[in-house]
Chain A
Amino acid sequence: MTEFGNLVLSGLTSGAIYAVLAVCLALWFRVANMLNLAAGDFAMIGALGVDLLVRVHGWNLGLSILAILVVIALVAFAYDFVVLRIAVDWGRAQEGIVAIFFFTFALSFVLEGIAQQVFGTVVHAAPALWPGNALDFHGLHVQRAGVLVIGFALVVGVGLALCLRFTLVGKAMAACGENPIGARIVGIDSRRFRRAIFVLTAVLAGVFGILGSPITGFVYNSGAGLGLSGVVAAAFAGFTRPGRAVAAGLSIGLLESFLSGYVNTAYGETLLYGVLAAVMLFRPQLMGLPEVAR
């Protein structure tokens, strides 16, 4: 029973990491029809940036967090203002696969390169916001940073899902991704939404990096792998539903944990992707994608 409980806790912890990144991806995809493959890199910058300011430069923790989040917001804003505006808004707009993947994939590499120069190649983590040993309830262990990340994932996922469902601004966000021309016709500035949500999700990823980095530690190239795990969880939310993305992220984490714990430790991840592929093949409606009539 204790083993089961611990598998659930570790599954929820890693699942919450997938969930946060999936929320960032799903929300922006819903608005802009593009995948934010740099979300993991913003998380990495959050963690390593705060670490650099506190550990090396001796800044106060709160001030460091604020400063790094402002930097992340500015980088995201500048990226949209320069690159996406030229690529997507100007006369020769890029559409389809190029727009969906390429521009944020390139951003991911750029951020990684800069991070390598600024932060070096050693694993670090932001100072724990809730310091202390792992929590222990009758043999059940959970890291304090893990609790923070699970809470953050739930708050963000549920909050955004409610916002999309029950506010006109949330519906306007959905409208931007559904039909950008239709959105402009009813007076929704879809470009401004795209920019605002890109900045928002970058900052959310940064907050996640700061909260969660004590779990595993981050290095300059941690972002790409994190981003990919977010893509997988977001896929099970049809790339568009933040609430469902949290559920998908947590379920994938749990599944991964059970497969590693009960079936085979070495092949946990291999089995996980096998199961996920089978689900996509035979139960695609679980992914929430609109059905295509044939």
Chain B
Amino acid sequence: MVRFQETSSGEGPVALAVSELSVTYGDFVAVERASFRVTEGECVAIVGPNGNGKSSIAMAVAGLANRRGVVELFGEVAPANDPMWMVSRGLVLIPERRQLFPNLSVLDNITLGCYAWTRSLRSALRSEAVSEALEFFPQLGPRLRQKAGTLSGGEQQMVALARGMASRPRVLVIDEPCLGLAEAVSRRLYQVLAAMNRQGRTIVLVEENPVRALELSHQVVRVQNGVTVEVSRPARAADRSGGA
């Protein structure tokens, strides 16, 4: 297997540095010594075919999968298997299959994102984080009292993103945001991601569709059989077309 030697060509302080990350499930090696680093404010795409360990990288970075190797967030070494540590320091995962709370209302789902930084419902509801998240997705407005489990797939993905934004993320790790969604909805989600990135949020995007990922990403990490085989910095479609 080829093992990629990571290089950093982005400028500015490093938000997330992953080195020699391995994830195993029993005897099955999902990820082997993956390494990459993400500069603050950039968008990095992790691309590759399905079943090659992309989601495992996202889960392990967020502290939700058993891992070896070192993950550093804003220069601090992150403890393994501690998602609470990650969230409280601003790394927020928006997982594949969304992991919402289906019997809680849409508004409850979103405000629970605020648990990362407050225990007060009042300050959560009045926070800029929640109102900003709702501004990004005006179509959720009429559905705030509805149970999240009754929404369509696209709307649920919006709730997941809004919940992530309510956590006041500095680094957003988004796993397959467009899985199973209609093209129009996917385009809308990508517009939102581009807007979040423009606001200075660092984004790690796990995406099977490399064409779409390239629209947004400054850096592309290609994963095959659990190994990072290539890290490149292609010109973004967004930049080519004169800015997103």
Contacts and interface: CB of A to CB of B under 8 A. Distances in A.
Task: Categorize the interface residue count of chain B.
Answer: 20 to 34
Contacts of A184: 64, 83-84
Interface string B103-121: 1100010011111101111
Task: Categorize the interface residue count of chain A.
Answer: 20 to 34
Contacts of B92: 185
A239 to B, nearest CB: 12
Interface string A148-192: 000000000000000000111101101100110111111111000
A189 B114 CA distance: 14
A168 B100 contact: no
Nearest to B121: A168
Given A187-B83, A187-B115, A187-B116, A182 B100 contact: yes
B89 to A, nearest CB: 10
A182 B111 CA distance: 13
A162 B91 CA distance: 32
A162 to B, nearest CB: 12
B201 interface: no
Given A168-B111, A186-B112, A187-B115, A174 B84 contact: no
Contact of A168 (B83, B104, B120): B120
Contact of A178 (B95, B101, B114): B101
A290 interface: yes
A179 B115 contact: no
A166 B113 CA distance: 16
Given A185-B62, A186-B113, A186-B116, A179 B167 contact: no
B99 interface: yes
B124 interface: yes
B61 interface: no
B115 A181 contact: no
Contact of A185 (B88, B99, B118): B99
Contacts of A169: 119
Contacts of A179: 99-102
Nearest to A166: B121
B95 A175 contact: no
11 contacts: A168-B115, A168-B118, A174-B104, A175-B101, A175-B104, A178-B104, A179-B100, A185-B62, A185-B93, A186-B113, A187-B88
Given A166-B121, A178-B102, 14 more contacts: A169-B119, A171-B111, A172-B115, A178-B103, A182-B101, A183-B101, A184-B83, A184-B84, A185-B62, A185-B64, A185-B95, A188-B84, A188-B115, A189-B84
